[in-house]
Each structure stands twice: as C-alpha cells, then as structure tokens.
Amino acid sequence: MMVWTPAGLRALGIFLAVAIPAAVWRPWWLIAAALVFGAIVVGPLAILGAALLLLSSYSLGHLLWRRGDDPFLTAALGLAVWLTLFGWLVRFPIHYPWLWWILLAAPLVALRPRRVGIPKIHPLILVPLVALYLMALLPEVSADGLAMHLVIPSRIAASHGWSFDVGQFAWAVMPMGGDWAFSIAYQLGGEGAARLTNFAALCLLAGMIARRVPALACGSFLSLPLVNLVTDSLYVENVWALFLTAAFLALESQAWLACAVLAGAAMASKFSTLALALFFVGVAACRSRKPLLVLVALACAAQPYADAWLRTGNPVFPFMNHIFRSPYFDASAPFVDSRFTRPLTWHLPFDLTFHSDRYLEGQAGAFGFQWSVFLPLMVLAWKRATRMERFALAAGLAAALATFAVQSNIRYLYAVMALWTLAIPSVLRTWPWTRWLLGACVALNFWFWAAANWNGRDFLTGLALSRRQYLEEHAPTRLLLDGQREPVAFLKGAEVGLLQGRAYVDTWHNAAWQNAVLQAHSPEDLVKLMRERGVSLWIGPLTKFPQLFQHPYDFDLALTYSDVVATVGTLALYRLRERAAEPPPQAVVGPGEYDEWNPGTRYSGPWAIDNQFAEAYSHTLRYCGGPPCWMEFRFRGGVVTIIYTAAYNRGRARILLDGREAGILVEKAEGIHWQQRYAVRAPAAGAHVLRVEVLEGYVDVDGFLVTMDK
C-alpha cells in the first residue's frame, strides 16, 4: 500500500524540515510567508475575500452575542446568520460582488475596534494548518467538488442566483449551508476564495477545540487523514462540523439562543445532522426551560426543507422518496449509497482503523489510529471526566452508531470525531502516560495523512506545476468544459466543474438522463436522445482508447456520429455531426490472445465495462444482463476460445459460428472462477465470425484466444 507517491513523500519531508523549525521559533513569520505566497498563487482578492467573510462573521457574531468570550465560537455564530440569510436570498437574481462586499463590510463598520491579544499557536497545530492552507491554494479537482460543491458557487456567480432546478441536479434542493459559504466567498475572490473559506471553517473548528483541550489532543484531530480529505477538496464537512461542535459548546456555555441558531445552521448544511442538532436544541430547551428555542432552530433550518417540499413534494429530497414519492426521483426503494451499508459488528473499531477502505473511498488507515485505543479508555475514565467530556463522548457514540446503522461512511463521522477530541483530556488526566500513546497515534496519523485523499498523495508538488499541467493530471475535464455555455451531455461521470451550460450527467444527480442512457441500445438511440434535448456537445474518451468507453455504442457514437472539438490527455469534447460517417470495416484478427475489446469485436446492447478486478484478463471485462445483448468477434484461425468469469450470478449465452449454433455457454457456478475457457472449433481454418447472444442472466466476456489448430 503506497500512501504517498515518491514525489509526495519528498515534498512532505522538505515541508516539515522548513515548517517545524519556523513554527517553533518564528511562527508569525511562517504565517506571514504563507499569506504572501497564497496571494501570489491565487491572487490577493481570494485571500481578502475569505478573510472578509471570516472577519465579518466574527463582527456580526459579536454584535449579536456580546457576552461571548470565545472568538471562534462567536465567528461561527456570525457565519451561521450569514448563511441563513443567503439561503433565503439566493433565489433572487441580486447576487453581485459589489453587494457582498458592502454587506460583509457593514458589521465591521458597526463594531467598535477591540484590542485582541496575539495568541500563541502550538507547532502541533500550526504545522498541519499551514500544510492544509497550501493545499487549499491548488485548483479544485475532487469528484464531489466538480460534481456539486464548485458547481453551485460558479453558477450563482454567473446567473446571480440559484434556480433549485432538480430536473438538472437532484441535489439542487438539498441542505447546502456549506455551499452557501463557498458561494459568498466565490463572489468576492473566485474559486480560490471558496477553497480558502473551507480552510477557514477548519481553523474556526480547530480554534474552538484548542481552547478546551491540550495542544496534543487538538493536533491529534488535525492529524486525521479525514481532515486532509475534506480540507484539500470542496467538501462541506468542515462547515457542518463547525456548526454542530459550536452548538454543543454553546449549550455547555449556557448560551441558549446561540445554541439554537448554530444547531439550525447545522441542519441547513447537512441532512445527517438533524438528529444530533435537534438533540442539542432539545437539551438546551429543557435546561433553560425555554421551549421556543426549538422553534428558533427550526426557523434557521427551514429554508432547504421548505424549498424541497414546495418544489418536489419531499422535504428531504431525494432521500426517503419511497415514503414521500416525489415524481422527480426513484420512489421504489430508499436512496442510499450501496457501497457503504456494512452491518454493525463487535469488531467495527478494528475494521474502521485497519480496513478503512471498506468504509471510505480511500486506503486503510484513513480513520485515524487514536480512536480504537482512546475510545475504550474514555469509557474507563468516565468517573474522572467532566460533564462536558462525558456529554461529548456519549453524544458522539450515539450519533456514530445511528449514522452507521444507515450509512457506514467514515466521512459522516467527521463532526463526531471533533466531539470525541473534546473528551480526550479525561484520559490524559487519568493516565498521564497516555500522552506518549497519543503522540504515537499522531505520528502514525501523519504517516497515513493521505490515506483518505487520493489526490493528496502528491502532497504539495502541484504548486510547482502550472494550472494547466495540474488540471491535465488530476481533472482534465475542466480544461474541456470550464466556461463552456452550451449544453453538454456526459455518458459517464458528473464532473461539471465551471461548465455554465446545462449539464446532462450520467449519475443519480440527473436520474432522468441516466435512465434514458441506460435504455439506449445503439448509437442512433443516443443521437436521438441528445437531439431531443438540444444537445450537440458531449464528453468522452478518445477513440484510440476504446477500453475507456462506458458502453460499446458510446464508441460508435464517437467514431461515426461525432467530430472532435478539443482533446486533453485521453479525453475529448465531441460535437454531433449532421450526418453519420461511414463506419470503418470490422477487422479480422489472426492467431493470438486478445482482450474483450479489440479490433475484431463488435458489441450491441448495454454491455458494461468493469475494470475493478485484478483477476480479470488484462484487468477488464464486459458484461450484460439478458437480451437483446450480443457481440461478434471476427477472427482467422481454426479454434477460438472465449475467456469468461464463472460466478453464482452469471447466466447463459447462445454461441454461433458463421451463423450456425455451436453450443450454449453456461457461466453460472458456485463461487467465483476467473478466466474460465470455452473453446469453439471451426470446420476448417480460415476467416470466421463468432457470435455470443445473451439468453438469460448476466454474461461476461473477458477475452479471446485464437489458434490455427483444428
């Protein structure tokens, strides 16, 4: 398992050699140098935009809560108010940069200048924060960021409002508090400001934690690979974790109204925060004997749920649609990510730590190493813990179990990890020697820091590349689509990025288009689909890389019906032709071994490409379920052998040679058996056509072997 690339490991070593001494002896010099470098890389407006949103949030929070003594909690409250306001105003086409420069400056003018002491920042906190800041200077390349979290700010900036169009994006009415924060910053300083605002949310979260726990405990949180993932990319976890943690701390500080507002902002940022946020507000209402606090929280949270209900008939669209049955999404079953539905087991802590790849799109070790050790110790130290520590531990454990009972994705435990960090001091007080144990866990975390972030394995080497070079390597789609105003069809994926035209993406984000593509069985069907929607541009692999196409008819669409507009790496932007070109003749291949896709093959029907199995021939195979799927293979020889996978979920296919039935291929078997072989002998050596017609169940084709033997 390679957590870092060799270049990334070298960059990490150089960074630590420079940053650690600077953080120990000249921390403010390090911060100043980082700010100047950031202004050079992303421009001063990006730095100023993110800083203005942060300072304005603090000023607004202080105006509303003058008794607050935690500047980080105060800033979180102000940010919650700004995002609540933005959620209601975003439907109107009024969002221009000048408006938000004025609005955000207003609290700064209204607030009297205050003398603020310069805090001392521990190296264990400063070094990872500087590293994450430098990573935030890079362009956005994550799949989620390009599919959603960069799309929202860029489209609001272009159209000056948000249309909540669930016909284009199913997530258009989901809770988007984090995206509203990115959108405000994008108005001021573009993509760089949006990414730095995500980093700023982490700084507020870390600041709140650092005021209440030793630096080593706060450093253990920042060393988590998950922190690397959600801060290096435009995920919204830092924002909703900030609001949930701030609501908890406001509750413990008996700041009842602040708790309600922050809990409402958390619910307006992520659907999965509902239970924990409502629990915090309920406790605040009971302790203060002010039941109206619940109404305040619900009012702050109402915008996304009200919009979803009014526009789709489902207040939590697209979730729970089997109950609300909105016509805009599949209502036959609950909407969950089937990859992460593992059951709760007694060995879950071990699996989360050492088999994290089962619970996240990452590598083993992505969960962090302190939890499997310190969570049991926190329970044992219960009697020595403060009330806040007990509450943080219990609330975190309950939320983690409730979350994993529905969706076993480590990323959804991000806020829970912040709460658990607040309970770590109970262990350090009870057993002082555990400081060394926690230090060892921090060291392990930093060694595995890139385990959750595939794009982060190169660490900061991207800063040495030009923007184009970096995007060519990590997100070539952006170079083809950023700024494009025409509609574009995606036959695989959803990396919309800064595309301004209407997007037809082949994922659940646009279920209608995805289903239409699945029902297409020929390139002519795809041409018809695109013309009906007024689409002439589409994105896909270059024809010289046929193994990269999702379906065989995508390849035919590119080869026969499309012209190349632009290319980057293995990708191309195509435009439909007015008339189809003559398809090239199908080749006849001679003796040898061939992958399932080769010059002699032709596929018809919705054959799917699967390249996730190392055991398959050349690591790829194609499969299709039932008629009308068929494929042909033209060869010159005496014997052709079909290479396939036998498995419990496979079916049967009719085999024809030169139009005559040559047998029935049965792929069904107990267990999974890779690269099985089925030989078909020709009457004589020469040119022949092998045809495989799927009769029932899933049938896969993995490769072919042609020999001259009779």
CA distance 297 to 294: 5
Query: What pLDDT was estimated at residue 178?
Result: 96
Cβ-based neighbours of 446, under 8 Å, separated by 6 or more: 128, 223
Inter-CA distances, 3 with 452, 454, 694, Å: 9, 9, 42
Q: Mean pLDDT per 10-residue run, the chain (710 residues)? A: 87 93 93 95 96 96 88 96 97 96 93 66 94 96 94 96 94 96 96 97 96 95 96 95 97 95 97 94 94 95 96 94 92 84 87 90 92 95 94 95 90 95 96 96 94 89 91 93 93 89 92 87 88 94 80 82 92 89 79 90 82 86 85 94 93 94 94 94 93 94 88
Query: What pLDDT was estimated at residue 335?
Result: 85
**Calculated CA dihedral for residues 157, 161, 162, 167, nearest 10 degrees:** -90
**Which candidate, 709, 664, 666, 706, places its Cα nearest to that of 688?**
706
Query: Left, alpha or beta for 170 (phi > 0: left; psi -120 to 50: alpha)?
Result: alpha
Query: What pLDDT was estimated at residue 553?
Result: 78
Reduced to 3 states, what is the DSSP secondary structure of residue 312? Answer: helix
CB-based contact 405:436 (threshold 8 Å): no
Query: What pLDDT was estimated at residue 500?
Result: 93
Query: What pLDDT was estimated at residue 2?
Result: 79
CA distance 676 to 678: 7
Residue in the block written with tokens 């979803």: 308
Q: Where are the domains of the chain?
A: 27-109+129-463, 475-576, 592-707
Amino acid identity, position 244: L
Reduced to 3 states, what is the DSSP secondary structure of residue 633? Answer: strand
Architecture of domain 592-707 in CATH? Answer: Sandwich (2.60)
Q: Where are the alpha helices (DSSP H) in 431-572?
A: 434-447, 467-474, 476-481, 511-518, 523-532, 552-561
Quick one: DSSP state of residue 585? Answer: P
**Which candidate, 499, 477, 475, places its Cα nearest to that of 158?**
499
CA distance 668 to 695: 13
Q: Is the dihedral of CA 153, 157, 161, 164 positive or negative?
A: negative
CA distance 649 to 545: 29
Query: What pLDDT was estimated at residue 114?
Result: 63
Confidence (pTM): 0.89
In DSSP notation, 506-540 reads BSGGGHHHHHHHHT--SHHHHHHHHHHTT--EEEE
The phi and psi torsions of 575 (rounded to 5 degrees) equal: -125, 135
Query: What pLDDT was estimated at residue 413?
Result: 94
* Chain centroid to CA 261: 27
